[in-house]
């Protein structure tokens, strides 16, 4: 029996309780049609390099847990939605698909965050490009030549000391403006993804002009887009900017969920500011909330609350229900979300990638995932409502600042299903 670590508890039990599919699809378009035989060997090498991810989820009356899964990790020649933790994927928590010139990594978000997924994907793409194109440079990429270190599978959140969460004041963040509940957008229960390309140099130059990071600037532009549609609202526009907590926790090797969120509150005072002062305010909020000690304290409190739920809920069903309430509670406090793992760091693989898309679970009715490779920013803008009003308002923000863009496709969310336990 392999226990669910403290950093993953909320993601695993919460997603099971919500009944939603909690997986991520990383998709790359390669420069040539994919060779299935070469990719099969890459999958085999990657699974050997990450033996601690060869898992099958199980449950008993009181808890969910993992067991080692000796079956091969599956490669499927399809671009359809697959089902993880099911027979078609040998009950694994990750699998690989391919179709024409595209490679897809489908992986369970309960076992890894974006940074952890990038680690696996870089290994997979390295071994594929090694076999297909003969590349040899694996700088920064984990391969079978490297020692598999305990730090890779250890969860730093497990190391936080015990504390009594009842003595910790609850956060006072007000409920945020909801595009669906307050804005009147119509939801049909589906999630739609708009994949957008932006030249990286153009956007970075714009960010540097206002001393902003791409993720922070994207958050501000999205806020302004929503505000342009709803200039008079009683509820505040709050945005969640997801950050990687590994640097603050001193745990760069782990694959587990080590994420937190910066909260950007677009106050009435800020709405009246010119753009440059809004950018300054967002930069200040980023600086204050990214302080290492503040991040560690915040994550320690979250861990304490999560442990308390685990102890108090006696059955699997009770645990799933309690964590689902916690996960759903977060949605009420944010109008939208932005997440950016960071620029692709693996130079030897980069020349063979034409596109890189990140499709994620329905964690918020309006969210954007950002990836950067080969001089292009790839924005996957997901919305849980119909219509193009908010997307077009965002495009208007880009036009206002002279930033070119290309909407490449709109489709329903294609992330993998995950078998309910």
pLDDT at 329: 74
Count of CB atoms situated within 10 Å of the CB of 213: 17
For CA atoms 189, 193, 194, 200, give the dihedral sign.
Answer: positive
Angstrom distance (rounded) from CA 292 to CA 298: 10
Picking from 106, 99, 100, 101, the residue whose alpha carbon sits closest to that of residue 73 is 106
pLDDT at 302: 86
The radius of gyration of the chain's CA atoms, rounded to the nearest angstrom, is 21
246 has pLDDT over 90: yes
137 has pLDDT over 90: yes
Stretch among 225-229, 266-270, 316-320, 352-356 having the lowest mean pLDDT: 266-270
| 185: helix, strand or coil | coil
| Structure confidence at residue 236 as a pLDDT band (50, 70, 90) | confident
pLDDT at 27: 98
pLDDT at 218: 96
Tell me if 340 sits within 8 A of 215, measured CB to CB: yes
Quickly count helices (H) and strands (E) in the chain.
Answer: 12, 17
What average pLDDT is seen over the chain? 93
- CA separation (Å) from 31 to 6, 101, 137, 210, 351? 40, 7, 19, 35, 8
With 0-12 / 13-18 / 19 or more C-beta atoms within 10 angstroms meaning exposed / middle / buried, residue 357 is buried
| Structure confidence at residue 225 as a pLDDT band (50, 70, 90) | very high
Angstrom distance (rounded) from CA 11 to CA 159: 18
pLDDT at 331: 82
pTM of the model: 0.95
Picking from 263, 326, 336, the residue whose alpha carbon sits closest to that of residue 9 is 326
| Structure confidence at residue 398 as a pLDDT band (50, 70, 90) | very high
pLDDT at 84: 97
pLDDT at 305: 87
CA–CA–CA angle 23, 20, 1 (5° rounding):
65
pLDDT at 56: 98
* Comparison of pLDDT for 302 and 143, the residue scoring more: 143
Q: What is the mean pLDDT of residues 348-367?
A: 94
Picking from 308, 282, 319, 254, the residue whose alpha carbon sits closest to that of residue 115 is 254
Picking from 141, 276, 295, the residue whose alpha carbon sits closest to that of residue 209 is 276
Angstrom distance (rounded) from CA 285 to CA 283: 5
The proportion of the chain whose per-residue pLDDT surpasses 70, expressed as a percent, equals 99
Chain segment 285-332, per-residue pLDDT in tens: 988 888 888 888 888 888 888 898 889 999 999 999 999 988 887 788
189 has pLDDT over 90: no
Angstrom distance (rounded) from CA 206 to CA 376: 14
| Structure confidence at residue 267 as a pLDDT band (50, 70, 90) | confident
Angstrom distance (rounded) from CA 386 to CA 218: 22
Picking from 133, 182, 164, 198, the residue whose alpha carbon sits closest to that of residue 353 is 133
Task: Tell how strand 64-68 and strand 55-59 pair up.
Answer: antiparallel
Picking from 385, 123, 357, 383, the residue whose alpha carbon sits closest to that of residue 255 is 123
Chain segment 41-98, per-residue pLDDT in tens: 999 999 999 999 999 999 999 999 999 999 999 999 999 999 999 999 999 999 999 9
165 has pLDDT over 90: no
Query: Dihedral angle at the C-alpha atoms of 377, 382, 386, 389, nearest 10 degrees?
Result: -40
DSSP assigned state of 316: H
Chain segment 2-51, per-residue pLDDT in tens: 999 999 999 999 999 988 789 999 999 999 999 999 999 999 999 999 99
Count of CB atoms situated within 10 Å of the CB of 20: 19
Residues, the chain, total?
Answer: 421
For CA atoms 331, 333, 338, 341, give the dihedral sign.
Answer: negative
170 has pLDDT over 70: no
Q: Which helix (H) or strand (E) holds 114?
A: helix 114-133
Q: What is the mean pLDDT of residues 356-367?
A: 92
The proportion of the chain whose per-residue pLDDT surpasses 90, expressed as a percent, equals 79
pLDDT at 171: 64
pLDDT at 384: 94
């Amino acid at each position: 029996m392999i226990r669910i670590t403290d950093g993953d508890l909320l993601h695993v039990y919460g997603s099971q309780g919500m009944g939603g599919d909690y997986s991520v699809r990383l998709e790359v378009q390669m420069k040539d049609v994919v060779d299935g035989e070469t990719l099969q060997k890459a999958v085999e090498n990657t699974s050997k390099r990450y033996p601690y991810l060869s898992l099958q989820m199980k449950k008993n009356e009181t808890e969910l847990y993992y067991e080692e899964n000796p079956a091969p990790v599956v490669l499927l020649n399809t671009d359809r939605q697959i089902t993880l933790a099911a027979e078609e994927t040998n009950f694994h928590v990750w699998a690989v698909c391919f179709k024409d010139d595209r490679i897809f990594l489908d992986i369970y978000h309960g076992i890894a965050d974006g940074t952890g997924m990038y680690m696996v994907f870089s290994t997979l793409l390295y071994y594929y490009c090694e076999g297909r194109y003969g590349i040899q440079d694996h700088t920064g990429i984990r391969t079978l030549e490297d020692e598999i270190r305990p730090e890779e599978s250890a969860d730093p959140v497990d190391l936080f000391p015990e504390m009594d969460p009842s003595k910790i004041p609850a956060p006072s963040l007000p409920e945020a403006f909801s595009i669906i509940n307050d804005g009147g957008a119509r939801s049909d229960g589906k999630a739609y993804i708009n994949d957008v390309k932006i030249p990286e140099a153009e956007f970075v130059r714009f960010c540097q002009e206002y001393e902003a990071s791409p993720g922070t600037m994207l958050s501000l532009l999205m806020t302004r887009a929503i505000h342009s549609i709803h200039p008079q609202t009683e509820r505040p526009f709050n945005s969640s900017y997801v950050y990687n907590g590994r640097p603050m926790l001193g745990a760069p090797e782990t694959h587990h969920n080590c994420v937190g969120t910066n909260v950007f509150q677009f106050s009435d005072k800020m709405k009246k500011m010119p753009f440059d002062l809004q950018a300054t305010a967002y930069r200040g909020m980023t600086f204050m909330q990214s302080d290492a000690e503040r991040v560690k304290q915040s994550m320690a409190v979250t861990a304490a609350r999560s442990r308390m739920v685990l102890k108090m809920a006696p059955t699997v069903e009770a645990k799933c229900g309690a964590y689902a309430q916690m996960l759903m509670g977060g949605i009420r406090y944010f109008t939208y979300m932005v997440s950016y793992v960071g620029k692709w760091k693996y130079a030897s693989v980069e020349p063979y990638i034409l596109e890189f898309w990140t499709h994620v679970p329905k964690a918020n009715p309006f969210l954007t995932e950002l990836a950067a490779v080969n001089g292009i920013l790839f924005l996957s803008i997901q919305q849980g409502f119909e219509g193009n009003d908010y997307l077009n308002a965002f495009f208007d923000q880009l036009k206002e600042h002279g930033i070119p863009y290309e909407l490449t496709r709109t489709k329903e969310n294609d992330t993998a299903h995950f078998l309910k336990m």
